[in-house]
Amino acid sequence: MASSIDLSAVNFDTTSFPALKNDLYLRAARGEEAERAPVWCMRQAGRYLPEFRAIRVENEFFKVCRAPALATEVTLQPLRRYAGLLDAAIIFSDILVIPQAMGLEVQMVPGKGPHFPDPLRTPDDLLRLVDRNSGFSVDTELDYVYKALTNTRHALDGQVPLLGFVGAPWTLMAYMIEGGGSKTLALAKTWLFAHRTAAHDLLARVADVAAQFLIGQVRAGAQALQVFESWAGELSPQDFAEFSLPYLALIAERVKAVFPDVPMTVFAKGAHYALEQLATETLFDVISLDWTIDPKAARARVDAALAIRTDVVPRSVVLQGNLDPTILLGDEQTIRERTAEMCQSFGRSGHIANLGHGMMPSHDPERLRVFLETVHKSSAELRR
């Protein structure tokens, strides 16, 4: 399969994209009425798909990210398999392209995941990073992502909107210091409490790159954006308020200053305590929930927070989520029942259906089909 892809057959024209045929996701993300809940899945292009694994046999992970034709092919694979069932495509890339662009080496090790051979260990290591003060250009360093977005937007031919994304500053900082995954994030947290000034310096630099990168993604063809704060739940409420929330707010503010109508989603996994702050102290249109919070409770808390903040411009906040991904390991009847319950919990409006995290390599692709079909059926019945 991989050898049949023509890596030179690409379209980088940003001046004339195909007309959008299915705008359900965009309408819902903006808080508009929708006939059913739009649905897509984090990591919907990935290792659970045999067609993706076939690509990876011949191509290293970051090569797929950097080759626009390959990134486009992988992004489109779930759209082909689940024709008519997905309401958004998300560009195939990785949150760690930002640390790479800032001068750190990142490897994707089979069976292990991301690995930084030479991570940041002390504040002096910040001198190894590059940013725009040292002649660094986000648009130059990450142009391959822009090219993948533009090419994919053409290849989609208006089927569904195309989403871009970045990792949030705290999550990226943790990877840059830990050198990979960690159960405690002890090294990264040491910076927060022993090197506070350096930690804020690093977070601010990453936030600056992330905001510039998202703006560039929209110019390249992204029609909506998501920010992944995957390790938010590793912070206490107090530390989230200092080391995560201000930088999330800054990113949204900078992007919205340029593209006010582009929907933005934040996924602060595990940070249930911050729902009110995310709704009232940032400009994100959508808050994505993991599976450990009741949607009804989340909806009530967000609405109450918005109602009492007279200093905040009136707005709606859409919720996204939140089926436990491991439910897709169950039988079809269980998936149908739990998915229908999820739709019911979110109610008749203000919901984008998704998982509470991403697809897993062990998932059976046909189980995802059951989830998607059930969202279509259940959410449409709920709104009639």
Instruction: Map residue 360 onto helix, strand or coil.
Output: coil
Model pLDDT, residue 1: 44
Mean pLDDT of 269-288: 97
Q: What angle do CA 104, 108, 109 make, to 5 degrees?
A: 125
Please give the sequence-ordered ranges of beta strands (E in DSSP) within 232-326, or none if there are none: 264-268, 286-288, 318-323
Both tokens assigned to 30:
């903006």
The number of angstroms, rounded, from the C-alpha of 117 to the middle of its chain's C-alpha atoms is 25
pLDDT digits 0-9 by tens, 129-186: 997 667 789 999 999 999 999 999 999 999 999 999 999 999 999 999 999 999 999 9
Which member of 27, 30, 47, 301 is catalytic?
Answer: 47
Both tokens assigned to 41:
């899945």
Return the DSSP state at 372: H
Report how far residue 2's alpha carbon sits from residue 355's, in angstroms, rounded to the nearest whole number.
Answer: 29
CB atoms within 10 A of CB 114: 19
Supply the mean pLDDT for the chain: 95
Instruction: Map residue 162 onto helix, strand or coil.
Output: strand
Task: Supply the angle between the helices 295-308 and 332-346 in degrees, to the nearest 10.
Answer: 20
Mean pLDDT of 219-242: 98
Q: Name 346's Cβ contacts closer than 8 Å, sequence gap at least 6.
A: 37, 295, 299, 319, 353
Concerning whether 56 is annotated as a catalytic residue, the answer is yes
Which member of 56, 205, 254, 299 is catalytic?
Answer: 56
Model pLDDT, residue 233: 97
Report how far residue 149's alpha carbon sits from residue 27's, in angstroms, rounded to the nearest whole number.
Answer: 21
Q: What is the DSSP string of 75-126?
A: HHHHHHHTTTT-S-EE-S--TTHHHHHTT---EEETTTEEE-SS---SGGGG
Burial annotation 337-362 (CB, 10 A radius, 16+ → b, else e): ebbbebbebbbebbbbbbbbbbbeee
Express the helix, strand and coil content of the chain in percent, nearest 5 each. 50, 10, 40
**Dihedral, 155, 85, 162, 167 alpha carbons, nearest 10:** -130
Q: Do 39 and 86 form a contact (C-beta atoms < 8 A)?
A: yes
Report how far residue 91's alpha carbon sits from residue 128's, in angstroms, rounded to the nearest whole number.
Answer: 29
| Segments making up each domain of the chain, as ranges | 14-325+347-361
pLDDT digits 0-9 by tens, 292-327: 999 999 999 999 999 987 666 678 899 999 999 999
- The architecture of the domain spanning 14-325+347-361 is Alpha-Beta Barrel (3.20)
Q: Name 310's Cβ contacts closer than 8 Å, sequence gap at least 6.
A: none
Q: Which residues pair with 108 in a beta bridge?
A: 114
pLDDT digits 0-9 by tens, 271-280: 999 999 999 9
Q: What is the DSSP string of 302-370?
A: HHHHHHH-TTSPP---EEEEEE-GGGGGS-HHHHHHHHHHHHHHH-SSSEEEEESS---TT--HHHHHH
The residue type found at 319 is L
The proportion of the chain whose per-residue pLDDT surpasses 70, expressed as a percent, equals 97
Does pLDDT of 4 surpass 80?
Answer: no
The CA–CA distances, whole Å, from 383 to 61, 110, 274, 341 equal 41, 44, 29, 14
Q: Is the CA virtual torsion 35, 74, 318, 298 positive or negative?
A: positive
pLDDT digits 0-9 by tens, 61-105: 999 999 999 999 999 999 999 999 999 999 999 999 999 999 999
Instruction: Map residue 358 onto helix, strand or coil.
Output: coil
Which member of 48, 82, 175, 247 is catalytic?
Answer: 175
Model pLDDT, residue 267: 98
Model pLDDT, residue 2: 47
pLDDT digits 0-9 by tens, 326-379: 999 999 999 999 999 999 999 999 999 999 999 999 999 999 999 999 999 999
Both tokens assigned to 94:
């990785």
Concerning whether 80 is annotated as a catalytic residue, the answer is no
Q: Which of 3-7, 236-240, 338-342 bottoms out in mean pLDDT, i.e. has the lowest?
A: 3-7
Which member of 36, 43, 205, 299 is catalytic?
Answer: 43
Instruction: Map residue 186 onto helix, strand or coil.
Output: helix
Model pLDDT, residue 218: 98
Model pLDDT, residue 335: 98
Does pLDDT of 32 surpass 50?
Answer: yes
Return the DSSP state at 325: G
Concerning whether 175 is annotated as a catalytic residue, the answer is yes
Model pLDDT, residue 132: 67
Report how far residue 245's alpha carbon sits from residue 259's, in angstroms, rounded to the nearest whole number.
Answer: 21
Which member of 23, 94, 208, 290 is catalytic?
Answer: 94
